[in-house]
Structure 1
Amino acid sequence: MHMQLLHNDRVIIFDRADFGRSNLSLPGGRCRVNPRERVLLAGDCTAHSAEYDVAANAARPLFVFTDTWCSSGTVAPDGTLVQTGGWNDGYRNARTMPVCGGDDESCDWSEKQDALAANRWYATNQILPDGRAFIIGGRRQFSYEFYPKADPSDTSAVQMPFLVQTRDPEENNLYPFVHLNIDSNLFIFAKNRAILLDYKRNKVVRTYPLLADGDPRNYPSSGSSVLLPLKPNPTEAELLVCGGAPSGSNNSTKGGTRIFVPALTTCGRIKITDASPAWVIETMPSPRVMGDMILLPNGAEVAIINGAADGTAGWEAASTPNYAPVIYRPDHSPGDRFEEQAATGVPRLYHSSVVLLRDGRLLVGGSNPHIYYNFSDVRFPTELSLEAFSPEYLYPSNDMLRPRILNPSPTGAAASVTYGAKLALKFSVPASARRRRRGGAGAGGLGQVSVTMVAAVPGGGQDGGGARPGRHVHYVSATMPATAVLAPPGYYMVFVVNGHGGPHTVIQDARF
C-alpha cells in the first residue's frame, strides 16, 4: 500500500493490518494481539510491514500494531519516517520508523496513541519549511493540523471550508493533492478545484479555475499530481495533474450491474505562480486511474505508472489494468511530451506503489483490489512482488556517456550542506563522452521535490584521481537552494547528469 525510501538505501513497505495473515511471519514467535483486531481475533503472528534492503535484495519483517489502512506520512528532517492516521485504532495515531543501522534486528516502528487532533483516514501530509508535517483532510474531516505539536496536549484542528465545498456523494476530495509553492504557501487541489493557502494565517490567498470539464481527480477517482522540477533560483512553479475518473464512476462499480467507466485521458498543467493562472489540457496515450507520478532524476522527465484504464480505486472497482508506463517530458513541445513505454505483465491496481531508488530505477510493488488477502481463484490476485522499471537513461546503450561520481563518496556518510552554500562534486566521464558537457547536477528529495542546481559542467583533467582508465575527471560546484521553502530540511539524493535528460548516476544522500 505504501513504500518509502530512507537514506540508508532501504525501503519501508507497509500494508493495512486487518487483511488477515500475510505471507511474512514475525520473528521469534512474536504476535500482534490487538483487542480492536477485526479478522484474527486470537492474534496475528504475521508482519504487515517490512524493511527492504535494496542492495541485498532481502526483506526484514517489521511490527506495526495499529491499522495503517489509507494513512499518510512524510520524512522528518532527521530522516525518520513519520506516518500518521489510518483506520479503526489507527485514526489518530502517529508512527515513526527510524533509519536502521547495519544489521540491527531490533530497529522497528514506534507508535504514539491519539497524537492527532482528528481522525485522519485518507488524509494528505506535506513537509513544511520548518520540518513539521501539514496534515489535511480525511474521510469526513474538513480540517487541517500540524505534527509534531508544540504542545503534546494540543487537540485543535483548523477548519477548512474548501474541503466542504469540494465534497460530493462519492467523496472525490479524499487524499487531496498538496504542494509547497515557492512563495511558502500551499497549493491544495481537491476534486476539480484548487486554492493557494497561507497556512500561517489560515487565509486563502488565491483561487484557481476549475480543471477542464470538472471531472474529479482525487480519491476514489484517483488521479495523481506532481510539482514539476524547479529551475535554479526559481521565479515560477508549475504543476501537473493527470488522470482520474468521470463523475459517477465510483457508484457505477457498485451493485448488481457493475459498469467500469473508462478513466480520464487528460492532464492539466498550470503555472501556480502566475497572476492569472490557467490550466493547459494535454492528452495521455491511454486512460489512467490510480496511477502514480514520480519525478525522474535527470530533471527532465516524469514517469506515470501503475493503475487501471477504467473504474476507480476501491474493492473490485476496476476491470482493465493499465500495464504501460508513460514518460512525460515537460520541456518538450505540446503534442510531443508523452511517450508510452513497454508494458509490464503485472497488474498494479488498488494499493500499489512506486519509489525512486538511488540507482535511478523505479521500484514498483503491490496491488490488492480485494477486501482481504486473496491469492487464488480471482482475476487479480493479491500481488506481493516487487519489480524494477529502468527508464531509458539506464539502458546499456548509454553506458559510454554515463558519469561516475568520485567524491563525495557515494558509499560514505551523507554530506552536510547549508542553504545557499556550495557542494563540490568530483566525477568522471568516459573519454569518448568528454566533449558532451551540457548537463549538471540536481537534487531529489525523499518527498518528491526536484531542484536543478547547476546548468553546465566545466572542462576537466586527464585520467586519475580515482577515475578508472579511459575516463576523464571533472569538477563542479553545485549551489544549494537558497531557502527551506525551495527544499525543506532533510535528506536528498544528488545526481550528475551528462546531457540534459541524459544518463545519470547517484552520489549519496546530501543533508540540507
Structure 2
Amino acid sequence: MINYGKTFIITTSVLCLSIAILSEAQPYMMQLDRWEVLQPSIGISAMHMQLLHNGMVIMFDRTDFGNSNISLAGGMCRYDPSDTAVKFDCSAHSVLYDVASNTYRPLKVQTDTWCSSGSVLPNGTLVQTGGYNDGDRAARMFTPCGFSETCDWIEFPQYLTQRRWYATNQILPDGRIIVVGGRRQFNFEIFPRADYRSIESRFEFLRETTDGSNENNLYPFLHLLPDGNLFVFANTRSIVFDYKRNRIVREFPEIPGGDPRNYPSSGSSILLPLDETNNVDLEAEIMVCGGAPKGAFSGVKNGRGFARATSTCGRLKLTGANPSWEMETMPLPRVMGDMLLLPTGDVIIVNGAGTGTAGWENARDPLTRPVIYYPFERRFSVMSTASRPRMYHSSAVLLADGRILVGGSNPHVYYNFTNVEYPTELSLEAYSPPYLSFTSDSIRPKILTSGKVVNYKTLFNLSFSIAQFLTIDLLSVRIVAPSFTTHSFAMNQRMVILKLISVARDGLTNSYRINVLGPSTAEIAPPGYYMMFLVHSGVPSSGTWVQIE
C-alpha cells in the first residue's frame, strides 16, 4: 500500500509488472562497474582520508620522509627542528580535494601525522590526533570552508596525554571523541579533555592482546554500539567495553583460525547497517575480513617469504545469550583491504595484497579487483580491475555521489617512483559500483528537497522524483556517517536505516513526498553530519547532507 494523499492499492497486475521490471533491472548482475583516474597526481600519497560535509576530501601523508611533489602555496615553508628527514620544507603534506570540480590545493600541516587517527565533531570540524615524533601528542583541527577560501590546519602540539601512534578514534553519543591505544599505549583518552582526568584510562585488554612484540593489536577496531558501549577487536579477541566505567561488559569467543586481524596483519572491520524500520530490538552485527597469518610479519623480516593472506571473514551478532562467529570465505585472500559500506548496505572491500603484511616492502601480489559482499544473501562478487595497485598506505572513502574514492599506496620508506616493483602512488581514482550504471536510471530516485537538520525521534519530509516507481517495499532511507580511513580501517563509519512512515504523490509527474522518522538515539546515530541516501530496488540516489542533532 502506498499513501498518495489517500490510499492507493497496488493491484495484482501492477505487482506482477513490478516484479518483471525488477528482474530486468538488477544492476549487480550486469557487472557494469568501472574505474576512472581522476588525477594522475595530487602531489602526496593519500595515507589518510576524510570526506567533509561540504563535498571536500582532506588527505594527508606524513612529514618525516622529505619533500612531497606539491609546494605549499604563496611561498610558505615549514621549519621543524625535530623532523628526522628535512627541517626546512616548502612542500605540502596535506591537500584539500574538491570532488565537484576535481581540483585540489595544498594545506600546511606542521607536526608529523604519520599513522594517526581522526573523527569529525558534530559541527563538522575534523579532529585529527597523534602521529609520530613531534606529532605523537598533537591534536589538529580542520574546519571546512569553501575551496577558494584559506582554511587550513590548526595544531595543538602537546594536547594529548599520551603518545598516539597507530591509535583508533570513535565519535561518542555526547559528541566527544575517544582515542584508544597506539603503539605501547594500553590506555585511552577523551577529546576534549576538560573532564577527562577524572577517568581512569588504563585499558589492560590492549596489553593482553599483544603477541609479545607489541604487534597485531595496533589500530584496534572500534565500533559504537546501540547501547552506548564500544565493541573493541584486537588481534583475535573482542569485547564490549563500557568506557564510562572502564570495565569489560562482555567478552566474545576468539575469531576462529587464530589469525590476527589488526595492524600489521591488517584485516578490516565494519559494523553492518543498523535497521530501525522494525519495532524490535535493534541488532548489532560486526564483520571482520582478511588479515595475515600469525607470524607473517616476522616471517617477512626474517627472510622466510611472504605468507598467503587470510581469506576468511567472520560475522558476529552481538545480541543473544551465546554469540559466536559465523565464518565465510572471500574469493580472494586479502591483507590491507579497506571495507566500506555502500549506500545499498552492501560492503565493498578494495585495495590490498594477496601475500605478506602491512609495513614497508612487506607485501606482494597486489589485488586490483575489489569484491562486493551482499550481507543478506551472504555472497561475494569479484568486480572490475583498477588501473594500478594500492597496497601499504592506501586509503578509500565513500563519496556522496555513490562512488568510492581511492588513493595512496607508498610501500617504501620514502617516495620512490623508479626501480621498484610497486612505485609510490600519488594518483586518485574513483570506482563506480554497478548501481551507478545507466541501465538503472529508470528506477534511480533523485532527492529534490530535504531538511538540513534531522532531530532524534522526529518526523521530517523528503521529496524525490523517479521515472519508474516500483513499490514502497523496495524503498528505504539511509544515513551514512563518512569515515576517517587509514591503514585498512574506516573509523566512525556507520549506516542507519530509518523508519519510513508514508509515501505520497507530490502533485508533479513522477514526484513524491515521504515522511521519515529521525534516528532514535545518539547511541544509534551520534550527532553530526551524515550523507542521506534514498535507495529504491537496490539503486541509490546521490546523497544529500543532513546534520543529526
Q: TM-score, normalised by structure 2?
A: 0.87
CA positional deviation for 1:456 = 7.6
CA positional deviation for 1:156 = 7.3
Residue in 1 aligned with 2:546? 509
Residue in 2 aligned with 1:416? 453
The answer to whether the aligner puts 1:439 opposite 2:484 as a matched pair is no
Aligned counterparts of 1:136 and 1:391: Cα–Cα separation in 2: 33
Question: What letter corresponds to residue 188 of structure 2 in structure 1?
Answer: Y
Residue in 2 aligned with 1:454? 499
The answer to whether the aligner puts 1:245 opposite 2:289 as a matched pair is no
Q: 2:161 aligns with which of 102, 113, 117?
A: 117
**CA offsets 1:41-82 (integer angstroms, 9 cap, x no match):** 3x1100000000000111110000000000001011110000
CA positional deviation for 1:507 = 2.5
Question: What letter corresponds to residue 239 of structure 1 in structure 2?
Answer: I
Contact 1:260 1:311 in 2 (8 A): yes
CA positional deviation for 1:282 = 0.4
Aligned counterparts of 1:359 and 1:322: Cα–Cα separation in 2: 25
Q: 1:75 aligns with which of 96, 120, 132?
A: 120
Residue in 2 aligned with 1:411? none
CA positional deviation for 1:510 = 3.3
Aligned counterparts of 1:433 and 1:145: Cα–Cα separation in 2: 49
The answer to whether the aligner puts 1:4 opposite 2:59 as a matched pair is no
**CA offsets 1:210-266 (integer angstroms, 9 cap, x no match):** 1012110000000000000011165210000000100000011114x3500000000
Q: Structure 2: 5+ residue runs without aligned partners?
A: 1-46, 483-491
Report matched runs for 1:42-121 at 5 Å: 43-101=88-146, 103-105=148-150, 107-121=151-165
Aligned counterparts of 1:481 and 1:511: Cα–Cα separation in 2: 8
Contact 1:393 1:504 in 2 (8 A): no
Contact 2:131 2:165 in 1 (8 A): yes
CA positional deviation for 1:274 = 2.4
Residue in 2 aligned with 1:135? 179
Residue in 2 aligned with 1:168? 211
Residue in 1 aligned with 2:272? 228
CA positional deviation for 1:135 = 0.8
Residue in 2 aligned with 1:353? 395
Flag the structure with higher strand content: 2
**CA offsets 1:335-376 (integer angstroms, 9 cap, x no match):** xx1111112121100110001111010000010000011111
Q: 1:248 to 1:454 in 2, by over 3 A?
A: same
SS of equivalent to 1:423: strand
Aligned counterparts of 2:238 and 2:470: Cα–Cα separation in 1: 46
Residue in 2 aligned with 1:371? 413
Contact 1:131 1:488 in 2 (8 A): yes
Residue in 2 aligned with 1:493? 531
CA positional deviation for 1:417 = 2.0
Aligned counterparts of 1:495 and 1:399: Cα–Cα separation in 2: 15
Aligned counterparts of 2:199 and 2:240: Cα–Cα separation in 1: 22
Q: 1:189 aligns with which of 217, 223, 233?
A: 233
Contact 1:497 1:505 in 2 (8 A): no
Residue in 2 aligned with 1:292? 338
Residue in 1 aligned with 2:429? 387
Aligned counterparts of 2:448 and 2:111: Cα–Cα separation in 1: 44
Contact 1:182 1:237 in 2 (8 A): yes
Q: 1:456 to 1:406 in 2, by over 3 A?
A: same
**CA offsets 1:306-328 (integer angstroms, 9 cap, x no match):** 01111000000001101110111
Question: What letter corresponds to residue 82 of structure 1 in structure 2?
Answer: V
Aligned counterparts of 2:283 and 2:540: Cα–Cα separation in 1: 26
Contact 1:434 1:472 in 2 (8 A): no
**CA offsets 1:197-216 (integer angstroms, 9 cap, x no match):** 11111111101001012110
SS of equivalent to 1:187: strand
Q: Which has the higher contact order (CA 8 A, sep 6+)?
A: 2
Question: What letter corresponds to residue 487 of structure 1 in structure 2?
Answer: A
Aligned counterparts of 2:446 and 2:135: Cα–Cα separation in 1: 44
Contact 2:113 2:132 in 1 (8 A): yes
Residue in 1 aligned with 2:301? 254
SS of equivalent to 1:458: strand
Question: What letter corresponds to residue 210 of structure 2 in structure 1?
Answer: R
Residue in 1 aligned with 2:466? 429
Aligned counterparts of 1:379 and 1:387: Cα–Cα separation in 2: 20
Q: Structure 1: 5+ residue runs without aligned partners?
A: 409-413, 465-470
Question: What letter corresponds to residue 293 of structure 2 in structure 1?
Answer: P
SS of equivalent to 2:418: coil
CA RMSD of aligned residues (A): 1.6
CA positional deviation for 1:458 = 2.7
Residue in 2 aligned with 1:32? 78
Contact 1:417 1:510 in 2 (8 A): yes
CA positional deviation for 1:150 = 1.2
**CA offsets 1:92-135 (integer angstroms, 9 cap, x no match):** 11000111135212x10000121111101000101100111111
Question: What letter corresponds to residue 416 of structure 1 in structure 2?
Answer: V
Question: What letter corresponds to residue 364 of structure 1 in structure 2?
Answer: V
Aligned counterparts of 2:540 and 2:153: Cα–Cα separation in 1: 37
Q: TM-score, normalised by structure 1?
A: 0.93
Residue in 2 aligned with 1:468? none
**CA offsets 1:261-312 (integer angstroms, 9 cap, x no match):** 000000010011222110000000010000100011123x011110111100
Higher mean alpha-carbon deviation, 265-274 vs 238-247, is at: 265-274
Question: What letter corresponds to residue 30 of structure 1 in structure 2?
Answer: M
Aligned counterparts of 1:155 and 1:70: Cα–Cα separation in 2: 28
Q: Which runs of 4+ in 1 moved over 4 A?
A: 154-157, 434-437
Contact 1:193 1:208 in 2 (8 A): yes
Q: 1:102 to 1:172 in 2, by over 3 A?
A: closer
Aligned counterparts of 1:217 and 1:341: Cα–Cα separation in 2: 24
CA positional deviation for 1:155 = 9.9
Question: What letter corresponds to residue 127 of structure 2 in structure 1?
Answer: V
Residue in 1 aligned with 2:518? 480
Aligned counterparts of 1:207 and 1:181: Cα–Cα separation in 2: 14
Residue-pair matches, total: 490
SS of equivalent to 2:503: coil
Aligned counterparts of 2:435 and 2:547: Cα–Cα separation in 1: 22
Q: 1:102 to 1:46 in 2, by over 3 A?
A: closer
Q: 1:458 to 1:156 in 2, by over 3 A?
A: closer
